[in-house]
Amino acid sequence: MTEQKLSDTSAAPGVRPIGTPAPSGPHGSAGPVAPGPGAVAALRPLGVGQARLDADGLLGRWRRRNAEDTLPHCVDNLHRAGNIGNLRAAAGESDEAFAGMWFADSDVHKTLEAAAWELSVSSGDGALRSFVEDTAALLARAQQADGYLNSYFTVAAPDERWRRPDWSHELYCAGHLIQAAVAAARTGVGPELVAVARRFADLLVERFGPDGVEEVCGHPEIETALAELYRLTGHRPYLDLARRFLDLRGRGLLGPGRFGPAYYQDHMPVREAREVTGHAVRQLYLLAGMVDVAVETGEPQLLEAAERLWEDAVHRRTYVTGAHGSRHRDEAYGDPYELPPDRAYAETCAAIASVHLNWRLLLATGRARYADEMERALYNGVAAAVSSDGRHFFYSNPLQVRTGHTGSGEEAAGRRLPWYSCACCPPNIARLMASLHGYLATAHDDGLQIHLYASGSVSAEVAGAAVRVDVRTEYPWQGRVELTVASGPGVPWTLALRVPAWCDAYTVRIDGGPVMAPARDGYIRLTRVWAPGTTVVLDLEMPVRQVSAHPRVDAVRGCVALARGPLVYCLEQADLPPGTVLEDVRLDPAAEVTAAGREDLPGSPVVLTARGSLADAGDSLYTAGIRRERGGAPLTFTAVPYFLWGNRSEGPMRVWIPVAATG
């Protein structure tokens, strides 16, 4: 019996409170996440084609760059690195040795998902469509008779199939296959993928279902994938298996492993956990699965646990850029407030997982804090990982690179690479950017909610009629957002606009006239009969902010980060006078920091100009008593958006700037 009441949490204005099912419109809820007709969720995502990004806005440029550069680059590298060759070998069409990581199939599946989302908005791309169709057919040929599909365990280690759940990533790869198939089904491309994925999913139900093997995967991902497959097909055993995997986690089934059971989030039942632990990507994917299952089953305890763990992560273990993961050793969360900027692991996939999790929590609860966190992760933690040419990537994303840093290897700080031996991040970026339009807005019977501001348009069915709102803005460079209601029903409906948590003051005008519109729970709620052509102008004040960390974050005590709007800024060696050592720069906290456009950087961003000085602390490494810095020459310096660092040259960089000593 499905429970139909979740915990009583506040919903955003203009949306239905928790505790009532989210209805589906005539177009269906066909975005990256699609709660079913009976789901207990506050918001309904828009369907494919109901949101559009203009190419002249920042998000639109990111999506276009992804389509023109990142996605073709991923396809090329799947062939070059051997991922496609592995599948040909599994299909018996090649005798080449297996190449790459044992979970290399997952990169194929993520790229397929990216291609499907891209084809939903650019169906004329013949090469991309051929890639989807040809690869789907290859996967079908590589699939074994019982439905099993994994090239590594077919070609390289057939005797190890299902033998090492802590290590094998078999269910992880299956999860990405399923998500690619769901995307293909929702966008109408690669129909054979759904059949392939269902054959594998049916095998999983048979093996791991109610009377089957008690096992979980060392890398969560299958849980959210099975929930989406249930949403697509209505086949309840998929959802039941997703819930079973959650129920089994925390019983130590994976063993201690190299880093202990907390690394796998297998140290205690998910509903009892109080702190995020272990590998950051795995933890965030697990939380996403918990939310998906919670809204489909109506189980309040599961959603409450996900929100509780979110609070621990965001309030004690997340970088100012929205990045997750402090430790290189196990790609993991650290202790509370353990957030060293120069040793930040901050894996790109973790920032992407944060976007996925926060979107799900936003749909489930309607709470603005999840949209705020999704925006922070997107504009900083994710965006920094991609070069301006769309073909080079960071795996880890430090917040500081020291002068004289001599790191080497693929994860060397300050150097984006075109591909990695563990290439999980580039295809993951591709699938998020290809579906970026799906995260802009949501709908409900009562109205439309705008969460991310970008030039384009959003459409939905409200009160039985089609609604379309066109958006023009230079956000995040400017806080002015112009919205025009192009169509709507002849009855009152609500347009809800998010006021980001960083914004302390704003104005609203409708058809040029000022409107008193207090924000409630993070949203302005505007309810009326909207005549076609009505304009709304939201002006979000966007002053420069000096952000300080909790004093328990020892590594950045005495420092501030500069931020404006949703963007975090950083200093780069490229903007300092020759001979200046970045670590000697001090910020004058009393001096005004100004913002202005800069035409010579990619995308003509707004940069910040600040004043300070160069400190002189002497040459001795240690000294008796309290070391006093001597004030040096005054200095005017530039801070650039963090997501743009490393595009001009390799060199030192820092987000956290020491404050000049006073007195």
Tokens linked to 57: 């806005």
Say how many residues make up the chain.
663
Strands 44-45 and 441-444: antiparallel
User: Are 154 and 142 a contacting pair, CB within 8 Å?
Assistant: yes
Tokens linked to 599: 């035409």
Assess whether 503 carries a catalytic annotation.
no
Residue 439 and residue 452: Cα distance in Å, rounded?
Answer: 7
Beta strands in 306-406 (DSSP E): 400-401
Dihedral sign for Cα 266, 267, 269, 275, please: negative
DSSP state of 542: -
- Is the link from the previous residue into 476 a cis peptide, with omega within 30 of 0? yes
Residue 440 and residue 438: Cα distance in Å, rounded?
Answer: 6
Residue 136 and residue 591: Cα distance in Å, rounded?
Answer: 59
Residue 592 and residue 612: Cα distance in Å, rounded?
Answer: 10
Assess whether 215 carries a catalytic annotation.
no
Tokens linked to 504: 């302390």
Q: To 10 degrees, what angle do helices 425-434 and 58-65 make?
A: 130
Strand ordering across the sheet containing 523-528: 44-45, 441-444, 447-450, 493-498, 523-528, 519-520
Q: Which of 537, 544, 480, 483 is nearest to 513 (CA)?
A: 537
Q: Which of 109, 119, 237 is nearest to 172 (CA)?
A: 109
Q: Three-class SS of residue 126? A: helix
Residue 453 and residue 499: Cα distance in Å, rounded?
Answer: 10
Residue 522 and residue 12: Cα distance in Å, rounded?
Answer: 7
Could you count the other beta carbons within 10 Å of the beta carbon of residue 540? 23
Q: Three-class SS of residue 473? A: strand
The active-site residue, picked from 424, 503, 559, 570, is 424
Residue 558 and residue 554: Cα distance in Å, rounded?
Answer: 9
Residue 307 and residue 42: Cα distance in Å, rounded?
Answer: 15
DSSP state of 46: P
Q: Three-class SS of residue 294? A: helix
163: number of CA atoms within 13 Å, CB side?
6
Which residue stretches of 409-515 are H helix? Answer: 425-434
Q: Three-class SS of residue 498? A: strand
- The answer for 188, left when phi > 0, alpha when psi is -120 to 50, beta otherwise, is left
Residue 206 and residue 127: Cα distance in Å, rounded?
Answer: 37
The active-site residue, picked from 307, 331, 373, 375, is 331
Catalytic residues: 331, 424
